[in-house]
């Protein structure tokens, strides 16, 4: 299960972090305070988009509001939230993760840092939904990271990419001032990716 992989890949530590996925009847989300190594399918909670629990015996994650806000305001079908070490470290010091590496295009471009608000509050949910405009990732100030996708696998892969980009940026800051790609260089990367995709389909 992906929550176990999130744990074993170092994206999460202990019970922090949670996953959710959109289904026909609402949103499936991991329960509160459950060690991902020990959680199983029967522990998953089913919520409607207004925040009422409609299935599952355990209490849902306390971070349900931000998951639901994303489903209400975007077409995302899966959300992965972690307290991964490097994204969380940078969440203390930066306002945006700049485009130091071209693969940041896989997250929609430079990653915004959503302003701090208490976990589980509508204010935090609102800040995150705004930070995710035209992006599939956001960093949460003094808190962690969040990624979205069309599937749990895609959201998870983006969480791994975001953590790698944060690690790279952190390392670069130790030895100098990172060079940052321009918007036009990022646009060229998008064009090149589209060309290669088109070519591979012929």
Catalytic residues: 63
For Zn ion, the binding residues (CB under 5 A) are 144
Alpha carbons 82 and 50: distance in angstroms, whole number: 23
Alpha carbons 20 and 115: distance in angstroms, whole number: 22
Tell the smallest beta-carbon distance from residue 52 to Zn ion (Å): 22
Q: Which residue is nearest to Zn ion (CB)?
A: 144
Buried b (16+ CB within 10 A) or exposed e, 30-39: bbbebebeeb
Strands (E), 4-136: 18-23, 26-29, 45-47, 53-55, 78-82, 96-97, 111-114
- Closer by beta carbon to Zn ion, 65 or else 144: 144
Alpha carbons 107 and 149: distance in angstroms, whole number: 10
Residues 6+ apart with CB under 8 A from 171: none
Tell the smallest beta-carbon distance from residue 152 to Zn ion (Å): 17
Buried b (16+ CB within 10 A) or exposed e, 134-158: ebbbbbbbebbbbbbbeebebbbeb
Tell the smallest beta-carbon distance from residue 171 to Zn ion (Å): 24
Enter the tokens of residue 62: 């306390």
- Closer by beta carbon to Zn ion, 127 or else 181: 127
Enter the tokens of residue 191: 């064009």
């Amino acid at each position: 299960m992906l929550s176990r992989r999130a744990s074993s890949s170092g994206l999460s530590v202990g019970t922090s972090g949670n996953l959710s996925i959109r289904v026909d009847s609402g949103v499936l989300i991991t329960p509160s305070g459950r060690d991902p190594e020990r959680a199983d399918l029967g522990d998953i909670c089913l919520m409607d988009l207004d925040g009422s629990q409609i299935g599952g015996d355990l209490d849902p994650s306390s971070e349900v509001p931000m998951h639901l806000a994303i489903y209400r305001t975007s077409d995302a079908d899966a959300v992965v939230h972690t307290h991964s070490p490097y994204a969380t470290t940078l969440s203390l010091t930066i306002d945006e993760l700049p485009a130091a590496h071209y693969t940041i295009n896989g997250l929609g471009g430079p990653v915004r840092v959503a302003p701090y608000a208490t976990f589980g509050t509508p204010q935090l949910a609102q800040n995150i939904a705004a930070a995710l405009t035209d992006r599939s990732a956001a960093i949460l100030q003094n808190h962690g990271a969040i990624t979205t996708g069309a599937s749990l696998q895609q959201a998870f892969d983006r969480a791994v990419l975001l953590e790698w980009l944060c690690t790279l940026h952190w390392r670069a800051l130790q030895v100098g001032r990172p060079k940052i790609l321009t918007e036009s260089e990022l646009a060229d990367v998008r064009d090149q990716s589209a060309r290669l995709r088109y070519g591979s389909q012929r």
